[in-house]
Amino acid sequence: MKLSLATLKAASPSVRTPAYDVARLRAGMVHLGVGAFHRAHQAIFTDDAIEAAGGDWGVVGVSMRQPDVANALSAQDGLYTVETLDEAPSYRVAGAIRATLTLPQDPEAVLAAIADPAAHIVTLTVTEKGYCLAGGTLDLQHPDIVHDLAHPLAPRSAVGALAQGLAARQRHGAPMTIISCDNMVENGARLGRAVHALAERLDPGLAAWIETSIAFPETMVDSIVPATDAASRARVAQALGLTDEASVQREPYGQWVIEDRFAGPRPAWDQVGAQIVADVAPHRRLKLHVLNASHSALAYLGLVRGHEFVHQAMGDAQIRAFLEDLVETELAPGLPGLPVRDYWAKTAHRFANPMVDHRLAQIAQDGGLKLAERVYPVMIANARDGLPIARLGAIVRAWLEHMGAGSPDLDLLPQEIRRDPILRAAILGAAQ
């Protein structure tokens, strides 16, 4: 049998199931980008918050491109299993996702879900490229943005869906909190500027209303969520006693830091481990420049040495020594006032988890965008302050070689780095 509301009672008693009436839960949130990370992270915090404090905080999950995930969830009444990969894997069924839509197929329904006065929060996991940015501002020449300006009622981008959904919401005036959960510096502010810029083109009155009624808090999210594979699905089916076409796997660790800036009510996330703080920046800098930068290093240095997974690359003595030196000589001095060494010790332990088959090829995707957030800022700052940058440069060179099959193409670098002789020398000298 397939997992669904009708079969949930047949699930193995060893699997945790929602401690609330899933069928009676109404939607109070929308999520754009209902992929594996959301289902393993924000949706689990929300599931826990509903169990802890109640409230109609069901999620309308939106697939941004393809309908596969939305269809799989719909066929299971929104239920899915999370496999937590520890020494002894554990399993739980989550019930927070109450409806699913696909933006290209259901644009009117997506806009209506954002406009619904019962919805108080929109969250997003659409990856860095999903924001259609050029630098820190909206790229008005991006094909999706050009389309959204010409066809606002059938948007392709997350920014277009938000702008037009808020236009419909403006008619009843209910405020809303929109939370970016993607790995970008100042993710809330950049998303807010992008939505405002598009709204200004559509309707200056809408842009003015967004400024006063919509909150875009900063956030930082962290949990390793490998792509689900056949082996994980088989383990889930055996543990659950039911088939599940929407299951996800994750590591035990999960962190969500959210700026305390909301335009309305929110789930009791703070009661179940989320951190509601005045300043997200210190948490974000550690995550981006220690964990994420090291992840990129593992990907580009590990793939060329024949490794497939993160834990394999961490077991490579040469790569491990490189990372330890990176942290000690470049990251710790370059991030003063932050507990870099303690944070790295915990991160290294997580990376070495042999149960988590996190593919290096998955991490290596979209390297240009990722390095711009993870590596370039601290590399530029270190060079300015006279601190070492050789290992940071080696990460960049490894990416260039990965992209060029062994022949680095400096044209892939931003001008700020390409034209700086110190930064260029660090990158080109890294292989010597």
What pLDDT does residue 432 have? 37
Beta carbons of 137 and 189 less than 8 angstroms apart: no
Question: pTM for this structure?
Answer: 0.91
What pLDDT does residue 411 have? 85
- Torsional class of 91: left (φ above 0), alpha (ψ -120 to 50), beta (otherwise): beta
Q: Tokens 């999706």 sit at which residue? A: 144
What pLDDT does residue 410 have? 83
Give every residue of the chain whose pLDDT is below 50, as ranges: 431-432
Q: DSSP string of 300-363?
A: HHHHHTT--BHHHHHT-HHHHHHHHHHIIIIIHHHSTTS-HHHHHHHHHHHHT-TT---BHHHH
Q: CA 18 to CA 246: how far, in whole Å? A: 16
Cα 352–chain centre separation: 21
What pLDDT does residue 431 have? 42
- Mean per-residue pLDDT of the chain: 96
Beta carbons of 111 and 73 less than 8 angstroms apart: no
Map residue 152 onto helix, strand or coil.
Answer: coil
Q: CA 369 to CA 371: how far, in whole Å? A: 6
Q: CA 68 to CA 74: how far, in whole Å? A: 10
